[in-house]
Structure 1
Amino acid sequence: MLYEGVLNKMQTEFNTPIEYYLVFKNNFININQIIDRDIKIDFTGYECLNCGQHKKIFRQGFCYECFYSSAQVGDWIMRPELSKAHLGIEDRDLEYETKVQIQPHIVYLAVASDVKVGVTRKTQVPTRWIDQGASKAIEIVEVPNRYLAGITEVALKDMFTDKTNWRKMLQNEVLETNLEEIRNSLKDKLPDEVKPYFDQTNSAIFNLDYPVLQFPKKITSLNLDKTPSYQGKLKGVKGQYLLFEDGTVFNIRTYEGYMVNIEVI
Structure 2
Amino acid sequence: MQFEGVLKKMRTELGDTVNYYMVFNGDFLHLNQVLDRELNLEFLKHECLNCHLDRPIFRQGFCKNCFFEIPSAGDWIMKPELSRAHLDEEDRDLAYEKKVQLQPHIVYLANSSTIKVGVTRKSQVPTRWIDQGAHEALAIVEAPNRYLAGITEVALKDHIGDKTNWRKMLTNSVVDEDLPTHRDRLMAYIPDEARDYVLREAQETHIHFPVLRYPEKVRSLNLGKTPNYRGRLKGIKGQYLIFEDGTVFNVRSNEGLVVGLDIN
Shorter-chain TM-score range: over 0.9
Would you say how many aligned residue pairs link Structure 1 and Structure 2?
264
Task: Tell me whether 1:3 sits opposite 2:3 in the alignment.
Answer: yes
2:125 matched residue in structure 1: 125
CA deviations over 1:52-107 (Å, ceiling 9, x no partner): 11111111100000000011010000100000000000000001000000000000
Task: Tell me whether 1:12 sits opposite 2:12 in the alignment.
Answer: yes
CA deviations over 1:162-214 (Å, ceiling 9, x no partner): 11000000000113321011112222210001111114x65100000000001
1:77 matched residue in structure 2: 77
**Identity among equivalent pairs (%):** 58
User: Which AA in structure 2 matches 1:38?
Assistant: E
Q: Secondary structure in 2 aligned to 1:194?
A: helix
Q: Structure 1 residues 104 and 202 mapped into 2: Cα distance closer, same or farther (>3 Å)?
A: farther
Contact 2:159 2:186 in 1 (8 A): no
User: Which AA in structure 2 matches 1:141?
Assistant: V
Gaps of at least 5 residues in structure 1 are none
Contact 1:6 1:257 in 2 (8 A): yes
1:1-265 map, 5 Å: 1-199=1-199, 202-265=201-264
Q: Secondary structure in 1 aligned to 2:193?
A: coil
Provide the C-alpha distance between the structure 1 equivalents of 2:78 and 2:175, rounded to a whole number of angstroms.
25
Q: Secondary structure in 2 aligned to 1:107?
A: strand
Q: Secondary structure in 1 aligned to 2:177?
A: coil
Q: CA deviation at 1:26?
A: 2.4
Q: CA deviation at 1:161?
A: 1.2
Provide the C-alpha distance between the structure 1 equivalents of 2:238 and 2:135, rounded to a whole number of angstroms.
10
Comparing 186-195 with 75-84, which one deviates more in the overlay? 186-195
Contact 1:115 1:175 in 2 (8 A): no
Q: CA deviation at 1:262?
A: 0.1
User: Which AA in structure 2 matches 1:237?
Assistant: I
Q: Structure 1 residues 202 and 46 mapped into 2: Cα distance closer, same or farther (>3 Å)?
A: farther
Provide the C-alpha distance between the structure 2 equivalents of 1:37 and 1:187, rounded to a whole number of angstroms.
47
User: Which AA in structure 2 matches 1:108?
Assistant: Y
Comparing 50-59 with 35-44, which one deviates more in the overlay? 50-59
Comparing 246-255 with 172-181, which one deviates more in the overlay? 172-181
Q: CA deviation at 1:23?
A: 0.5
TM-align CA RMSD: 0.8
Contact 1:35 1:236 in 2 (8 A): yes
Provide the C-alpha distance between the structure 2 equivalents of 1:177 and 1:32, rounded to a whole number of angstroms.
28
Gaps of at least 5 residues in structure 2 are none
Q: Secondary structure in 2 aligned to 1:187?
A: helix
CA deviations over 1:127-159 (Å, ceiling 9, x no partner): 000000001000111010000000000000011
Provide the C-alpha distance between the structure 1 equivalents of 2:258 and 2:132, rounded to a whole number of angstroms.
23
